[in-house]
């Protein structure tokens, strides 16, 4: 099946947030982790929201640089580190 190859290529091309070896904890491009400033539940556009299953798709926004990540760590929007 060639469709499987296409899916793999897409996953390689997509940028994901870095994770800490062992714990899998997110490390934002700005250096923020959940143990520091942390991440806030949000909508894909970065609007803060309560993490309720009925109204939240699992996105998080970096409290430091406003980068937005999907629940699997896919970077939806890069932050501003300057
Ligand atoms: Zn950040």
How much is the pLDDT for 53?
92
* Span from the CA of 52 to the centroid of ligand 1 (angstroms): 23
pLDDT digits (tens, 9 = 90+) for 6-48: 555 544 557 999 999 999 999 999 999 999 999 999 999 999 9
How much is the pLDDT for 14?
77
* Span from the CA of 30 to the centroid of ligand 1 (angstroms): 4
Is 30 inside a domain boundary? Answer: yes
Is 22 inside a domain boundary? Answer: yes
* Span from the CA of 3 to the centroid of ligand 1 (angstroms): 34
Is 2 inside a domain boundary? Answer: no
Number of domains in the chain: 1
How much is the pLDDT for 15?
94
Is 49 inside a domain boundary? Answer: yes
Is 43 inside a domain boundary? Answer: yes
* Span from the CA of 16 to the centroid of ligand 1 (angstroms): 13
* Span from the CA of 20 to the centroid of ligand 1 (angstroms): 15
2/52 Cα distance (integer angstroms):
38
HEC string for the chain: CHHHHHHHHHHHHCCECEECCCCCCEECCCCCECCCCCEEEECCCCCECCCCCCCCCCEEEECCCCCEECCCCEEEECCCCC
Hey, what are 40's tokens?
Answer: 């806030």
């Amino acid at each position: 099946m060639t469709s499987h190859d296409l899916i793999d290529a897409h996953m390689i091309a997509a940028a994901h947030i870095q994770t800490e070896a062992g714990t899998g904890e997110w490390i934002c491009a700005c250096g923020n982790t959940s143990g520091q400033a942390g991440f806030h539940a949000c909508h894909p556009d970065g609007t803060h929201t309560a993490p309720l299953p009925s109204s939240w798709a699992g996105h998080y926004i970096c409290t430091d640089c406003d980068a937005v990540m999907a629940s699997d760590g896919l970077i939806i929007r890069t932050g501003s580190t300057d």
